[in-house]
Amino acid sequence: MQAKVYNLGDIVEMKKAHPCGTNEWKIIRLGADIRIKCVGCQHSVMIPRREFEKKMKKVLVQANPEDN
């Protein structure tokens, strides 16, 4: 299986949409835990990296590296 590539600031799609109906999340913190923020309602959640990689479906928008 191909490794998922993601970076700070990327917009990602998860396997489950947020209850608000949006399925776009922005990566706002990268570490042992990853914090993602719902683009629709600004709700943010922190999840362990391993769990994030299981739940993340794909990267929708790659952040411009110059913005980081």
Q: Would you say 24 or 33 has its CB closer to Zn ion?
A: 24
- Number of residues in the chain: 68
How far separated are the first and last CA of the chain, in Å rounded? Answer: 28
Residue identified by tokens 């993602």 is 36
- Joined together, the tokens standing for residue 12 give 């990602």
Residue range at the interface with Zn ion (CB under 5 A); choices 7-15, 25-33, 43-51, 57-65: 43-51
Q: Would you say 28 or 41 has its CB closer to Zn ion?
A: 41
Specify whether the CB–CB gap between 56 and 67 falls below 8 A.
no
Show contacts with Zn ion in window 6-25 (CB under 5 A): 18, 20, 22
Q: Which of 27, 34, 36, 38 binds Zn ion (CB under 5 A)?
A: 38
